[in-house]
A and B are shown apart, each in its own frame.
Chain A
């Protein structure tokens, strides 16, 4: 892990410090810290309701924390405008959720290409890149099918292709295998972590499954709203 400078720029790709997030009077995060370097795969584990998904949403700028800071590549997320944060989420971040969350009206290739279309890439080029990623994720044969017409495992691979097609530096994966059987889950993890390692992308992997966590480089455990590095017992960031 990298050390923090006064400016909060740690040399790490993303650093969160003393995050607090309340839902009503309940503290989902209570001073949680976190850091991830480029190319690292970090598993975030913890019991149900421990705050691990809330942590991921705060790190990704989907939720605004009530206290604390998140620095990505030296920039503090809360200091960015909504438009800048959106641009970051479209260009630098990739997302994989438990149920894929693909657009049901679009075909699989259109879903994957959407990530690029939103950054201004033309349709032909976007779909050509999408097809390359779909082939890599072994779902090029379902290109013209809609998400509802393919299996859960295929849908999740399409979601991984969509997360990676724009060349993100950081992928947020929230229980990416939670809805899959063990064989499909294993394949999705191999493809996700393999592709991330090849492209140098870092992955924040929220999971309750130790077999999935075993694909990571290290583990952070969220307990009572705090995030601790599992190996050292020290907070994920100062």
Chain B
């Protein structure tokens, strides 16, 4: 995820302090990976340098100064361009699971067992996400569904690979 573009997009609704931006980002997009304060401030410094945000005010307190950031016209144009540009689909051709299966076959290890163990690990995570989704709001559900569909695709591949293991063993030998 582009943190810079996302923070910039969050600023379109109005100026915010770095801390508020972090909180908003974590709430909406952070899930299991909240932003570090350092990431926010280094990103805001870069956006400031590039003229995409400006300092809207500074509050002095007992701690460090709190800058409030506002998006510039150039920033708004940048957000629009980013949203209109399709993300490059992940080709999934560099596949660790495939490499492990081939190496297991080449070295005479238990490739079928490897696939079974991986399938169980995938299903374990699917159970966890399904529980989380069932208890969550619509945003949680959509985020979990995205992960669940990808895990399901992996499991379908694992099952297909299991069915084709004998042929693959013949080809890679």
List residues of chain A with CB under 8 Å of any chain B CB.
Answer: 190, 194, 210-211, 213-217, 219, 230-231, 233
Q: Is B73 an interface residue (CB 8 A)?
A: no
Q: Which of A194, A211, A233 sits near B126, CB closer than 8 Å? A: A211
Given contacts A194-B134, A214-B130, contact A231 B120 (CB under 8 A): yes
Q: How far is the CA of A219 from the CA of B120 in the complex (A)?
A: 9
Q: How far is the CA of A20 from the CA of B67 in the complex (A)?
A: 74
Give the number of chain B interface residues (Cβ < 8 Å): 13
Q: Which residues of A contact B130 (CB under 8 A)?
A: 211, 214-215
A213, A214, A216, A217 interface centre (most CB from chain B within 10 Å) = A214
- Shortest distance in angstroms between B145's beta carbon and chain A's nearest beta carbon? 9
B116, B129, B130, B148 interface centre (most CB from chain A within 10 Å) = B130
Question: In the complex, are the beta carbons of A211 and B134 less than 8 A apart?
Answer: no
- Produce 1/0 per residue, B143-162, CB < 8 A to A: 00000100010011000000
- Produce 1/0 per residue, B115-129, CB < 8 A to A: 010011001001101
Question: In the complex, are the beta carbons of B123 and A211 less than 8 A apart?
Answer: no
Q: Which residues of A contact B129 (CB under 8 A)?
A: 214
Question: In the complex, are the beta carbons of A230 and B119 less than 8 A apart?
Answer: yes
Q: Which of B119, B120, B123, B156 sits near A214, CB closer than 8 Å? A: B123
Q: Which residues of A contact B116 (CB under 8 A)?
A: 230, 233
Can you list 30 pairs linking A and B with CB atoms under 8 Å apart?
A190-B134, A194-B134, A210-B123, A210-B126, A210-B152, A210-B155, A210-B156, A211-B126, A211-B130, A211-B148, A211-B152, A213-B123, A213-B126, A214-B123, A214-B126, A214-B127, A214-B129, A214-B130, A214-B148, A215-B127, A215-B130, A216-B127, A217-B127, A219-B123, A230-B116, A230-B119, A230-B120, A230-B123, A231-B120, A233-B116
Closest B residue to A219 by beta carbon equals B123
Q: Which residues of A contact B123 (CB under 8 A)?
A: 210, 213-214, 219, 230
Q: Which residues of A contact B126 (CB under 8 A)?
A: 210-211, 213-214
* B window 73-119: CB within 8 A of A: 116, 119
8 closest residue pairs by CB, A with B = A214-B126, A214-B130, A210-B155, A214-B127, A231-B120, A190-B134, A210-B152, A230-B120
Q: Which residues of A contact B134 (CB under 8 A)?
A: 190, 194
